[in-house]
Amino acid sequence: MITNLFYIAIGILLIGFIFINVQKHMMSEGESILWMVGAFFILILAIFPDIIIFLANLVGITYAPSLLFFLTSIFLLIFSFRNSQQLSILAEKNKELIQFNALLEKRVRALEAFRTENKIK
């Protein structure tokens, strides 16, 4: 019973922490969705711990905590894949910005050179 209350408190604190971070613009709404799903999953399993036993029996797993570890691994794998996608997108945007900045610097230098040539003459 005390363990359930502890996990309920963790679930509620995690939901609150995610919500506050979204409000403070420290986390985007899209990024928070996956975390909210995980937090609600923790909260639901803390309130109804027999669900994991029912699901384990349904799938045919004899040791119910194994299903919990498996689901956690899947969650972390999805989260890692999503972060990898975001990193690839940001790396591509960064490369484009660097190239655009280099072109702008070249134009500025050319304009400055043109300007100094015309002042001297």
Does the pLDDT of residue 31 top 90, yes or no?
no
- Quick one: pLDDT at residue 105? 97
Mean pLDDT over the full length of the chain: 91
Same domain assignment for residues 41 and 70: no
Alpha-carbon Rg of the chain, whole angstroms?
26
What type of residue is 80? Answer: S
Question: What pLDDT score does 16 carry?
Answer: 94
Helix (H, G, I), strand (E, B) or coil at 68: helix
Boundaries of domain holding 9: 1-48
Average pLDDT (74-79) is 90
DSSP code at position 27: S
Residues in Cβ contact with 44 at an 8 Å cutoff, skipping those fewer than 6 apart: 51
Whole-angstrom distance, CA of residue 64 vs CA of residue 57: 8
pLDDT at 101: 97
Residue 39: CB atoms within 10 Å: 21
Residues 93 and 119 in one domain: yes
Residue 58 lies in a domain: no
The reply to whether 100 falls in a domain is yes
pTM of the model: 0.69
How many domains in the chain?
2
Quick one: pLDDT at residue 44?
A: 92
| Residue 54: closest CA among 41, 44, 46, 64 | 64
Residues 24 and 69 in one domain: no
Q: Do residues 67 and 44 share a domain?
A: no
pLDDT computed for residue 24 by the predictor: 92
